Amino acid sequence: MSRENLVGRLPSELEDLAAALGASRYRGRQVATWIYRKGVFDLEAMTDLPKDFRERLALGACIAVPEPERVEPSRDGSRKLVFVLGDGSRVSSVLMPDDDRMTLCVSTQVGCGFECRFCLTGVMGLERNLTPAEIVGQVLAANRLLAPGQRVTHIVFMGMGEPLANFAALVTSLRILSDARLGVGYSPRRITVSTVGLVPGIEKLGRENLKVNLAVSLHAATDQARERLMPVNRSFDLAALMAALRRYPLAPRQRIFFEYVLLDGVNDTPEEARRLAQLLRGLRAKVNLIPFNDWEGAEFRRPPLPRILAFQSVLLDAGITTTVRWSKGEDIGAACGQLRESVTA
């Protein structure tokens, strides 16, 4: 008989479980606190729980956090954590230290079904969705791996997969990660969900009122150009996408992030930058330009530095906050769009 994993359960579900076992709901809150807040994954170590409750719990449930199969350090200080999941498939997370931040990039699916032409994960196709336990588990495992006193400070849903295509598991994970009392306790403002632009998913996420940041992978400013890079644009074109984003509920001072991968000779001209500025007019936006990260067999190249900077200045001149994101972990295949664990490992 396989025992159910307590990781990935909402604190309220852990309360229900305690009640179902004939204990008070308070016992469920204690379990949530041990797992999510204290990072303790051993029932035996949960010393303030009555022994008979622990024993009853252990009969039907377990606490399983994915162990990294390997940890690959990069020259730039980032680390790729490769996890083997219960069914043998692999996903990775990337830990990226930066000044006083420690950002973790997490995966939401094994593979991805959206086939963006410049993304290596897209080559794999979609294998399956991750469970809340596997998503939250990446954060718990990363925190356990860090030296005492260190902790993941920011979480970005920018690893393998499309978060909004695994909506239920995403929302459960976000609730657990951002629950300040019984969950892992990350401020939603330190969590960013990135999407290819699934309009119904964006609308649904807005209604969940989670207050996390939204990032949109744009990569082109016209339908014609975007369609060629991102087939998803045929289902949700720029007009539909931008309309949904203009309606998206933002907190005061919160902005929508736009990712724009710069591809040499494809979407990197000053005219394209001007169209992008036009498209974003009146929206509280921040643009992250990502110079293309190479992978074997890719048909694209990174533009030369002057073109990258020229593209950025057009946006800056238009009054749009724009940064160039030099990806981390390129040497270990951990940079944006380079994750393909189940094939390469």
Dist CA 180 CA 344 (whole Å): 38
What is the total count of residues that contact ligand SAH (CB under 6 A)? 16
Residue 337 contacts ligand SAH per CB under 6 A: yes
Residue 139 contacts ligand SAH per CB under 6 A: no
Strands annotated E in 228-341:
256-262, 285-291, 321-324
Residue 336 contacts ligand SAH per CB under 6 A: yes
Dist CA 83 CA 61 (whole Å): 22
Measured from the CB atom, is 172 or 293 closer to ligand SAH? 293
How far apart are CB 257 and ligand SAH at their closest, in Å?
10
Residue 261 contacts ligand SAH per CB under 6 A: yes
Q: What is the DSSP annotation of 302-320?
A: PPPHHHHHHHHHHHHHTT-
How far apart are CB 272 and ligand SAH at their closest, in Å?
16
Q: Are 128 and 108 in contact (CB under 8 A)?
A: no
Residue 92 contacts ligand SAH per CB under 6 A: no
Measured from the CB atom, is 46 or 262 closer to ligand SAH? 262
284 token code pair: 């509280």
Q: Sign (positive/negative) of CA torsion 63, 65, 66, 68?
A: negative
Residue 217-256 contact track with ligand SAH, rule CB under 6 A, x = bound: x---------------------------------------
- Burial class of residue 39 in the structure, from the number of CB atoms within 10 Å of its CB (0-12 exposed, 13-18 middle, 19+ buried): middle
Dist CA 225 CA 321 (whole Å): 23
How far apart are CB 343 and ligand SAH at their closest, in Å?
15
Q: Which of 7, 61, 95, 158 binds ligand SAH (CB under 6 A)?
A: 158
Residue 30 contacts ligand SAH per CB under 6 A: no
Measured from the CB atom, is 5 or 293 closer to ligand SAH? 293
